[in-house]
Amino acid sequence: MTEHHPPPESRTGRLRALLPDLSPWHSSPDFRRMWIAGLVTVFGSFLTFVAVPLQLKELTGSALAVGAVGAVELVPLIAFGLYGGALADALDRRKLILWTEAGLGVLSGMLLLNTLLPHPMIWPLYVVAALVSALTGLQRPALQAIVPRIVPHEQLPAAIALNSMRWQIGAIAGPSLAGVVIAFAGLPWAYSLDVVSFAVSVALAMGLAPSPASHDAQKPSLRGILEGARYAWSRKELLGTYAVDLAAMFFAYPTAIFPFLADDLDASWALGLMYGAGAVGSLVVSLTSGWVSRIHRHGRMVVLAAAGWGLAMAVAGWLHNIWLVLLFLAVAGGCDMVSGLFRSAMWDQTIPDELRGRLAGIELLSYSVGPQLGQVRAGGMASLTNVRASVWTGGLACVASVGLLALSLPKLMSYDERTDEHAVRMRASRARVAEAA
């Protein structure tokens, strides 16, 4: 019997179905500009992401002191994240992005100045961390809310995947390069490169088209924030995405103790690789993300991927071989990427534009507060037990908590973007706007 080989066209078609969808890049100049600016910023920010905990480790020698960075970042993130969501609905989103980006660059400069002192001080690291968290809280909702304005509705999943891929490129190159830069040139060079990255991203953001608030936008107020919270509460499937991500990050986000884990594995040279391993897994998912648009049960994918993240982290905590640890950190990153893609698709395809900024503020809390609390949990558990136990117990707790949430949130598990009333309404609304234009 002659073996059948698919024609070249079908194999090519299957390959293209896996590759990232570049339609948002081609159709929107503003998306291209934001993508490049974001890549530059995330590259520089990851240099500082590695430098700050490493500098605290050198100055204090305490895992608890390193984990405490998450604690000082928490309150500003909550307060300014919610207020930033209200601002994103009430102000020009382009201006909000531009000014907060400039402020973040100034704060990186302060870290540089402190490091250049003959005896760098500890307290500025915590103060700057809190201020960075505040500005991030103001900026992120606007970054999230502006995307559906500059990208067609049907291209939103592709835009989410491309933005995630941008983050992953920086997350891989940034920490890996940070390890080399810090080892051979010192901490000042890492902070200096971060300052330069913010200068470049501000210059690019200045070219974005204005994105003014709608004519009937409310002024930022507690009442407006509460209105957004009431809407979120009415959408149990959205609440489910927030809760699942919060649980996953709280229990299984041990990056604050990576410097100590690297020492425990007798692999201090691999610290940068440990920070970048998760992004490698995420990048693999992004580079093969053409399948995302063919999945419609987004809630189920969020739950399964979050459980996979926790299990992979637990395995990484058990292992003693650095290369196997890096492998499972990469697997965890891939699972987190899958969860993030489908969370963002649910948010962007169902939330009305007039509420998008405030809901983005709530989203920010779900995917940022979790990691901050996770750093505190990881550092505290490591100080009470040991570094390895902190990692694997957190991973198992993540799996258990995600399973309980899945059982208690049937609307999340049954969500289908083809039939969900909010997704159908949003598609119809965007179609009317496109026809009118």
Q: Work out the pLDDT band at 304, boundaries 50, 70, 90.
A: very high
| Tens-digit pLDDT profile for residues 305-330 | 999 999 999 999 999 999 999 999 99
Query: What average pLDDT does the segment 254-269 reach?
Result: 87
Pick the more confident residue, 436 or 297: 297
**What pLDDT sits at residue 18?**
58
Average pLDDT value over all residues in the chain: 83
Q: Residues 246, 124: contact at Cβ < 8 Å?
A: no
**What pLDDT sits at residue 4?**
47
**What pLDDT sits at residue 11?**
53
Which range among 7-21, 274-288, 311-325 shows the weakest confidence by mean pLDDT? 7-21
What is the reported pTM? 0.67
Query: What average pLDDT does the segment 173-187 reach?
Result: 80
| Tens-digit pLDDT profile for residues 368-397 | 778 878 888 888 888 888 889 999 999 999
Residues constituting the chain? 437
Query: What average pLDDT does the segment 102-126 reach?
Result: 92
Query: What average pLDDT does the segment 173-188 reach?
Result: 80
Q: Is 283 exposed, middle or buried (0-12, 13-18, 19+ CB in 10 A)?
A: buried
Closest CA to 387 of 306, 319, 335, 323: 319
**What pLDDT sits at residue 216?**
62
| Residue 1: C-alpha distances to residues 4, 7, 8, 139 (Å) | 9, 18, 21, 63
| Tens-digit pLDDT profile for residues 395-436 | 999 999 999 999 998 989 988 888 878 777 777 776 665 666
| Tens-digit pLDDT profile for residues 18-59 | 567 788 888 888 999 989 998 888 888 888 888 888 888 888
**What pLDDT sits at residue 114?**
93
Q: Work out the pLDDT band at 1, boundaries 50, 70, 90.
A: very low
| Residue 47: C-alpha distances to residues 51, 191, 311, 419 (Å) | 6, 7, 28, 43
Query: What average pLDDT does the segment 266-277 reach?
Result: 84
- 124-135 per-residue burial string, b: 16 or more CB within 10 A, e: under 16: ebbebbbbbbbb
Cα-to-chain-centroid distance, residue 67: 19
Q: Work out the pLDDT band at 2, boundaries 50, 70, 90.
A: very low
Q: Is 367 exposed, middle or buried (0-12, 13-18, 19+ CB in 10 A)?
A: buried
| Residue 48: C-alpha distances to residues 56, 144, 195, 301 (Å) | 12, 23, 10, 32
**What pLDDT sits at residue 131?**
94
Distance in angstroms (rounded) separating the CA atoms of residues 290 and 245: 23
Q: Work out the pLDDT band at 355, boundaries 50, 70, 90.
A: confident
Quickly tell me which residue has 């809310």 as its tokens: 145
pLDDT at 72 over 50: yes
pLDDT at 14 over 60: no
pLDDT at 5 over 60: no
**What pLDDT sits at residue 255?**
85
Taking each helix axis as running N to C, give the angle between helix 322-350 and helix 298-318, from 0 to 180 degrees, rounded to the nearest 10: 160
**Sign of the torsion angle spanned by Cα atoms 310, 315, 320, 325:** negative
pLDDT at 160 over 90: no
- 289-304 per-residue burial string, b: 16 or more CB within 10 A, e: under 16: bbebbeeeebbbbbbb
Phi/psi-derived region of residue 266, left when phi > 0, alpha when psi is between -120 and 50, beta in every other case:
left
